[in-house]
Structure 1
Amino acid sequence: MSRFLILQLRPETAAADDEFAAFLAKGGLSEGDVTRVRLEQEPLPDDPLAGISGVIVGGGPGCVSDPPEDKSPAEAKIEAACLSLMPEIIARDIPFLGCCYGIGILGHALGGEVGKARYGEAVGTSTCRVTDAGRADPLLAGVPEAFDAFVGHKEALQALPDGAVALLSSDACPFQMIRTGANVYATQFHPEADAAGFETRIRIYKDRGYFPPETAEDLIAMCRTADVTVPETILARFVERYG
């Protein structure tokens, strides 16, 4: 197994640790298979893309579309570090999987519009549907035509960036999964998340404006009854294909 670079954008240790454990478990990875970087705490390693199999970018509470003056120093640092890698990733078609925040990073790097005017989704599940292009994509081969995924985002791609194709769509958000080149992917949903992990995030982020805090327990109950299993197969296929 070659090494994957996992970039984390969550300043909250409990959320970051839970997300990292989910990437390992759902991706079939061990800690020895990855280089983990918590970008709010540490810089990127020297020559971070050398000798790696792929890059996985996790989610986080920041928004690419927020004006610079509204971003905390940690959020600005995280965003700058991620964006600094994207020109080389895109030019060399290095395997990349951006999850939630990561679709904003990829969209911005491609010159697309990322914003809050349309396509935000409340915390919960969203029914994703495979597009015509998605049916031909190796990461989606054989997945159901429609399946539920965990979502919760304030911003989204407002249009498909030049050079990208839409692989998954939903009624609320037309760009649930995109690809540019042959190997650079991003999802608006969380492919690593299960009910327990989403419960952890709901409790941590209940005061961050994603939902009324008093609805947290109802959201947790909804997540516990949701049937969300297909998204993790996309993460596992990414690791298998490029590892």
Structure 2
Amino acid sequence: MNNFFQPHLIWEYLPDVLSALPTTLLLTLVSTIIGVIVGAGIAFVKMEDTPIFKQIAVVFTSFIRGTPILIQMFLVYYGLPMFLGYVGINTDDVSPLIYLFITYGLNMAAFLSEIIRAALESVPASQREAALTSGYTKRQMYFKIIFPQAVIIAVPSFATMVISLLQDTSLAFTIGVLDVVGKAKALGTATFHTVEAYISAMIIFIILSFILERFFRWIEKRSNFTSRKTPILANNPVIPVIETPKTT
């Protein structure tokens, strides 16, 4: 068998490797959603004056940011079933994808919590004061004034995190999930042309990363354009006061 490098195999392997792309995209999408939801919650906990919960959030974030994601994956994959087994919960039928959603989602949440917190705190305090004194409730202040500006600030860092997450999903095969890299590994093992198979996977990741980068760049430009059309309270303190129902 000829095991020398054969470039044409790269293109022959691409369709087979692409067949595992839905798994990679699903991992990225679900983990991002979990990361945004949990990360936003952690960010709010860090910003509130609740010492116990704030300390827990800080410890969690430090642990996630200070340990390799592969170790986190093994801890969740092997440790969680063992812990649940102690309380009588059987996890034999749980798909490995669930453990990956938990791992990548929590990892994403730890990093996004800092991005979200920094973005929220970067909005000037005068914005909050102007909104509250003009009749906005705290909820309206966040959703109409603070969040739109914070999102614009957070988009570049968020884009970097999503692209990084996409690339981190390449570790999914280590617990038996057949993602893009897992498919490439299986092809390489079966044909003894490992290099060609991994190059096929590399091409897919390069294209996906480029598409995501361009997508987020478009969102950033569109957000900046929209923000220029929206008056900022600090520069335009005269805003409509929300009317309250009259009582008779």
The structure carrying a bigger strand percent of its residues is 1
Shorter-chain TM-score: which interval?
A: under 0.3
TM (norm. structure 1) is: 0.24
The structure carrying a bigger helix percent of its residues is 2
**Greater radius of gyration (CA):** 2
TM (norm. structure 2) is: 0.24
